[in-house]
């Protein structure tokens, strides 16, 4: 776990990033920044560009123009795997587990990318994270046999193996049973309290409001609101975007 957050230090920043797919502008000049230790919720209607922005921040997509900074360093053209090694962990909208591997093997994969760590150290770290997530009794099962909520937890655990300073979670509550959803929220809050920075994309406004200290709202590829959950709730542009007007 990292030290206490440094509230005023920007951890990740997107400067006027654009991304087009054919004739569709998915991200249109977005300016976004998250400070160390923040827990930011990224919301917006379907097709508003949230996941594309996350992909740009993690290096899974390259912007057509604009720049991305991580910890003050330009990382616009740095591939996803290098950003992961610099402490950017992420999960995907649809679970992306290594389905033919066991739960423990899934956890080992990111750890093994650190050549200076021995297998024993990596396995011990993996088991500690599995205990934290309440999945330790499932470590020998194939990942494909887990429930939807357990798969989301395992994805979170796998991202934790990178010892990330920034975690980007894309719809972590989608398709998750309410009981497990509360478990995921609890874990996220614990990890946030330990100093990690979060950017969480979700449609579950209720869950996001329980978590986020700040909400960023996107519509049609642009940021239309950015502020506290209370401010955003009353924002007319946000209401209009969700109403589709």
The correct pick among 77, 119, 131, 177 for binding another protein (CB under 8 A) is 119
Nearer CB in complex with another protein: 96/213: 96
The correct pick among 98, 102, 229, 233 for binding another protein (CB under 8 A) is 98
Q: How far apart are CA 37 and CA 221, in angstroms?
A: 26
The correct pick among 80, 141, 174, 205 for binding another protein (CB under 8 A) is 80
Q: Cβ neighbours of residue 180 under 8 Å, at least 6 residues apart?
A: 147, 149, 150, 152, 153
* Residue 96 binds another protein (CB under 8 A): yes
Least Å from the CB of residue 14 to another protein: 18
Nearest CA among 204, 225, 207 for reference residue 216: 225
* Residue 145 binds another protein (CB under 8 A): no
Nearest CA among 160, 144, 195 for reference residue 5: 195
Q: How far apart are CA 103 and CA 86, in angstroms?
A: 24
Query: Which segment (14-22, 108-116, 176-184, 214-222) binds another protein by CB under 8 A?
Result: 108-116
Tell me, letter by letter, the H, E, C secondary structure of 66-81. Answer: EEEEECCEECCCCCHH
Nearer CB in complex with another protein: 101/189: 101
Least Å from the CB of residue 47 to another protein: 21
* Residue 221 binds another protein (CB under 8 A): no
Spell out a b/e string for 163-192, using b for 16 or more CB atoms within 10 Å of the CB, else e.
Answer: ebbbbbbbbbbbebeeebbebbbebbeebb
Nearer CB in complex with another protein: 90/192: 90
Binding site for another protein (CB under 8 A): 58-60, 79-81, 84-85, 89-90, 92, 96-101, 105, 108-110, 112-115, 119, 158-159, 161-162
């Amino acid at each position: 776990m990292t030290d206490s957050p440094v509230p005023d230090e920007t951890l990740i920043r997107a400067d006027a990033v654009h991304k087009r797919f054919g004739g569709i502008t998915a991200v249109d000049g977005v300016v976004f920044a998250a400070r160390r230790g923040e827990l930011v919720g990224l919301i917006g209607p379907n097709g508003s560009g949230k996941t594309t922005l996350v992909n740009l921040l993690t290096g899974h997509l390259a912007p057509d123009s604009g720049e991305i900074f991580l910890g003050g360093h330009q990382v616009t053209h740095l591939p996803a795997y290098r950003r992961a090694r610099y402490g950017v962990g992420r999960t995907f909208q649809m679970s992306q587990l290594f389905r033919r591997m066991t739960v423990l093997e899934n956890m080992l994969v990111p750890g093994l990318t650190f050549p200076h760590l021995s297998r024993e150290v990596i396995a011990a770290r993996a088991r500690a994270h599995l205990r934290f997530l309440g999945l330790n009794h499932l470590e020998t099962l194939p990942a494909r046999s887990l429930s939807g909520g357990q798969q989301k937890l395992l994805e979170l655990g796998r991202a934790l193996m990178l010892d990330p300073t920034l975690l980007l979670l894309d719809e972590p509550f989608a398709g998750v049973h309410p009981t497990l959803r509360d478990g995921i929220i609890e874990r996220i809050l614990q990890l946030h309290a330990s100093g990690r920075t979060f950017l969480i994309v979700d449609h579950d406004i209720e869950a996001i409001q329980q978590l986020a200290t700040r909400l960023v709202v996107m519509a049609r590829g642009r940021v239309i609101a950015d502020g506290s959950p209370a401010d955003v709730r009353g924002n007319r542009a946000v209401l209009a975007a969700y109403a589709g007007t």
